[in-house]
Amino acid sequence: MGKLRAGSILAGFAGLTLPLMPVQAALLRFSPRLARTFPHWYHRRVCRLFGIRLEIDGAVVRDKPVLLVSNHTSWLDIPVLSAVAPVSFVAKREVGAWPGVSTLARLQRTVFVDREKRTAVGETAGEIIERLRLGDTVVLFAEGTSSDGNRVLPFRTSLFAAAKPPQRVASGVPDAVVQTIALTYTRLHGIPMGRAERPLTSWYGDMQLPPHAWALLGAGPIDVRVVVGPPVPLDDFTDRKSLARHSEDEVRANVLRATRGLAADAPVEPVRRLEKPAPVRRRKSDEERLAKWV
């Protein structure tokens, strides 16, 4: 039954997607405004086809440019986030070379960045700022990679340099805001997932995309909890590090609430941030201490 379900979903996905790709390509050329919203309509139907059931707490601001900072666990995050609001993504450069996936990413106006080179991240700043200036909602996966779904990895502050470059955002996009999004896959076939089951929905490490997608689509309906944080003016943050710290703390707390089945406003104990260990000082030998006085 799992193979039959996965095959039926893939056939439906192809039947939905292939005819609409030329439509989005035409909108990109002739109607940029509709090109922003059409993928939102499309991905809501993709989520329904995949059996993804959304539980959304909060809302993405629609009348201002928004930087959305999210955790990242699966390829499913793309249709889920795009079903929540009309968005564009910041993706690693390698995605632009993946067969099939790269075409869909470009149709959704994805910004590609080489995350391994700080200079390249800085060069991408201009494009992200221009997107915000045009009123776009841009999604940044701040961990720089995907996790197993049970935790939030430390946010990479270098990735925020493209959204918060010195002396540029304040003058370029004065009304831009930042919101966080915490994604947690909570149920499979209506049954709550614990720490042992949640990695089944996650795509991380050296997993290959085709077999993982095939197995996950055949597994059954999936519930995902999406918690959207309140908007904060981007100019309120003095630099990329303060922006990253605020975003990580808020996403980590909301993921913790979701994994524990708590309400979005339930108090949780703060999670200690991973800090670099203090350098170990080598104890001087008796000979070295003696040599000081000789």
pLDDT digits (tens, 9 = 90+) for 131-163: 888 889 999 999 988 898 888 999 988 778 766
Q: Which of 196, 195, 193 is closest to 220 using CA atoms? A: 193
In single-letter form, the type of residue at position 284 comes to K
Q: Give me the long-range contacts of 254-260 (CB less than 8 A, separation at least 24).
A: 254/180, 254/182, 254/227, 254/229, 255/71, 255/151, 255/152, 255/182, 255/183, 255/184, 257/227, 258/182, 258/184, 258/186, 258/225, 258/227, 259/150, 259/184, 259/195, 259/198
Give the gyration radius of the chain's Cα atoms: 22
Rounded average pLDDT over 219-233? 94
Query: Predicted confidence band at 123 (pLDDT cuts at 50, 70, 90)?
Result: low
CA angle 179, 181, 184 (to 5 degrees): 170
Query: Which pLDDT tens digit goes with each residue over 255-287?
Result: 999 988 887 777 777 555 544 444 444 455 544
193 close to 223: Cβ distance less than 8 angstroms: no
Residue 102 has pLDDT above 60, yes or no: yes
Residues 184-213 pLDDT 10s: 999 998 899 988 888 888 988 888 888 899
pLDDT tier, 239 (very low <50, low <70, confident <90, very high otherwise): confident
Average pLDDT, stretch 41-62? 95
For residues 189 and 167, give the distance between their C-alpha atoms in angstroms, rounded to a whole number.
49
Question: What are 54-101's pLDDT values in tens digits?
Answer: 999 999 999 899 999 999 999 999 999 999 999 999 887 777 777 788
Is there a contact between 106 and 144 (Cβ–Cβ < 8 Å)?
no
119, pLDDT greater than 60 = no
Contact 49, 9 (CB under 8 A): yes
Residue 290 pLDDT > 50, yes or no?
no
Domains and CATH numbers, the chain: 2-259 (3.40.1130)
Question: Residue 90: its pLDDT value, please?
Answer: 86
**pLDDT number for residue 169:** 43
pLDDT of residue 291: 46
Rounded CA gap, 181 and 278, in Å?
32
Average pLDDT over residues 88-117: 81
- Using CA atoms, how far apart are residues 171 and 248, in angstroms rounded to an integer? 25
Mean pLDDT to the nearest integer, 2-29: 94
